Amino acid sequence: MSETTIYLSLGTNLGDRHVQLSKGLAELQKAGIQLVKRSGIYETEPMDVFDQPWFLNMVVESTTTLEPLGLLDVCKQVEIECGRVPSTWHGPRHMDIDILLYAEREIASERLTIPHPQMRERRFVLIPLLEIAPELVDPVTQQPYAKILERLDEGKKVFSSQINES
């Protein structure tokens, strides 16, 4: 099978967050996902469950030979290897990996929806995505993600992270 360009979002708010992101990236590479570009790291305010530490988030452009559901399985396994355990929806976690885009494909199944169903509403996803792919267009709406971000004000703070963690 040929390689497909994908975009993944990684986030963490437990433990040494920079180490967690590095470990997640390393585990993805061990699973055969080739990193092409990575955004900077952004510190972001939690959503929905506010009594928890802020997140570090980033987006990576990668290539894979995995089919979408196989990629989902790898992402879930990497989350577990990074210490994720079942918890509250939008609650604290050691690692969260979302498949944002799988080439220009649209997928809607019980297990997986691509493009990621909430990505158009999340500054913490769109800002790092546009950092590495500024011309990217949503395959569903045919709108540039830059235009979607311009209209978005969900009220959540997103800062470029220069934090050194202990």
Which comes out higher in pLDDT, residue 159 or 156? 159
Q: Which of 17, 84, 120, 123 is catalytic?
A: 84
Domain ranges of the chain: 4-160
Instruction: Say what the pLDDT of residue 149 is.
Output: 92
* Amino acid type, 114: I
Instruction: Say what the pLDDT of residue 86 is.
Output: 72
Residue given tokens 């202990």 in the structure block: 166
Instruction: Answer yes or no: 98 catalytic.
Output: yes
Instruction: Say what the pLDDT of residue 50 is.
Output: 77
The 10s digit of each residue's pLDDT in 22-76 is 999 999 999 999 999 999 999 998 887 778 899 999 999 999 999 999 999 999 9
> Residue 163: pLDDT above 80?
no
Q: Name the pTM for this structure.
A: 0.91
With cut-offs at 50, 70 and 90, classify the pLDDT of residue 15: very high
The 10s digit of each residue's pLDDT in 119-158 is 999 999 999 999 999 999 999 999 999 999 988 876 656 7
Instruction: Answer yes or no: 84 catalytic.
Output: yes
Instruction: Say what the pLDDT of residue 51 is.
Output: 83
CA neighbor of 102 nearest in space, from 75, 128, 78, 131: 75
Handedness of CA 130, 126, 105, 66 (dihedral sign): positive
Beta bridge partners of 9: 59, 98
With cut-offs at 50, 70 and 90, classify the pLDDT of residue 166: very low
Q: Which of 17, 38, 98, 123 is catalytic?
A: 98
Report the C-alpha gap between 152 and 142 in whole angstroms.
16
Q: Which of 96, 120, 122, 123 is catalytic?
A: 96
For the domain spanning 4-160, the CATH number is: 3.30.70.560
> Residue 164: pLDDT above 50?
no
Q: What is the 3-state secondary structure (H, E, C) of the chain?
A: CCCEEEEEEEEECCCCHHHHHHHHHHHHHHCCCEEEEECCCEEECCCCCCCCCCEEEEEEEEEECCCHHHHHHHHHHHHHHCCCCCCCCCCCCCCEEEEEEECCCCEECCCCEECCCCHHHCHHHHHHHHHHCCCCECCCCCCEHHHHHHCCCCCCCEEECCCCCC
Ramachandran region of residue 8, left (φ > 0), alpha (ψ -120 to 50) or beta? beta
Ramachandran region of residue 103, left (φ > 0), alpha (ψ -120 to 50) or beta? left
Q: Which of 93, 120, 122, 123 is catalytic?
A: 93
Instruction: Say what the pLDDT of residue 1 is.
Output: 67
Give the mean pLDDT of 87-113.
90
